Amino acid sequence: GQQLNQSPQSMFIQEGEDVSMNCTSSSIFNTWLWYKQDPGEGPVLLIALYKAGELTSNGRLTAQFGITRKDSFLNISASIPSDVGIYFCAGNPIRKETSGSRLTFGEGTQLTVNP
Amino acid sequence: DSGVTQTPKHLITATGQRVTLRCSPRSGDLSVYWYQQSLDQGLQFLIQYYNGEERAKGNILERFSAQQFPDLHSELNLSSLELGDSALYFCASTEGSGGYEQYFGPGTRLTVT
């Protein structure tokens, strides 16, 4: 099946630092999304991207849909303790069948922010 | 709060048993998606229903089945449970059949002993 390679697997940073994580695929995706998951909770949608080259911000978060359509990155600026959690990229690869929609998820980046 | 509800929150059962997980989508959403999240495999898509009809299928085991009812809530049935079925099970919903901005429920943690 489709695989997304998400890196890094984990990050340990100081409060106030900027963070960058990315996701790559061997297949072309028509949608990229970024989710955050807190322990014991469901993933929460942060940003959705629909167009190659698109750059979208949500507060201190910025994400980009790669021009090749095979990658995406997420930046968090001026990190704060509540940014702690697991960040997942997800996408919808272009398929032959047109019905339905499913997301393929990366393995997640565990972010730890030290006050 | 995403608006998606799931019950129960936790479920502990024995191998060989059968359980049913329930999901109610956000108001107005017609599609429900089920995902399994285990420690070693991340989030894996299982199945999608749209307005009562199966729309897409992932790597769902034959021991697992799902359905969506006329009131749009969905149930995921897991039978002949094995230790390896222990995981978090999430449902998500979208308004249409091809929606990518999926909103997730809080999940059901299944422990098979």
Of A73, A78, A51, A50, the residue nearest A62 (C-alpha)? A73
Nearest chain B CA: its distance from A58 CA (Å):
15
Mean pLDDT per 10-residue run, chain A (115 residues)? 84 96 92 93 94 95 96 97 96 66 89 94
Nearest chain A Cα to B102, which residue? A45
CA A67 to each of CA A7, A54, A61, B54, B61: distance values in angstroms, whole numbers, following the listed order: 19, 8, 19, 33, 36
Q: B107 pLDDT band (50/70/90 cuts)?
A: very high
Q: In Å, what is the CA distance from A17 to each residue of A60, A77, A89?
A: 12, 7, 21
Q: Which two tokens stand for residue B37?
A: 């999240």
CB atoms within 10 A of CB B102: 29
Q: Which pLDDT does position A100 carry in this prediction?
A: 60
Which residues from chain B sit within 8 angstroms of residue A90, using beta carbons?
43
* Contact state of B101 with A45 under an 8 Å Cβ cutoff: yes
Q: Is A101 within 8 Å of B90 when comparing Cβ atoms?
A: no
Mutation target for A interface from B5, B33, B39, B43: give the one with most A CBs within 10 A: B43
Q: Which of A102, A105, A107 sits opposite B48 (nearest CB)?
A: A102
Residue A103: list chain B partners with CB under 8 A.
Answer: 33, 43, 45, 100, 102
Report pLDDT for A96. Answer: 55
Per-residue model confidence as pLDDT tens digits over B45-101: 999 999 999 999 998 999 999 999 999 999 999 999 999 999 999 999 998 877 788
**What pLDDT sits at residue A73?**
97
Q: Would you state the pLDDT for residue B70?
A: 96
Q: Name the β-bridge partners of A36.
A: A44, A87
> Can you give the pLDDT at residue B96?
80
- At residue B39, the pLDDT reads 79
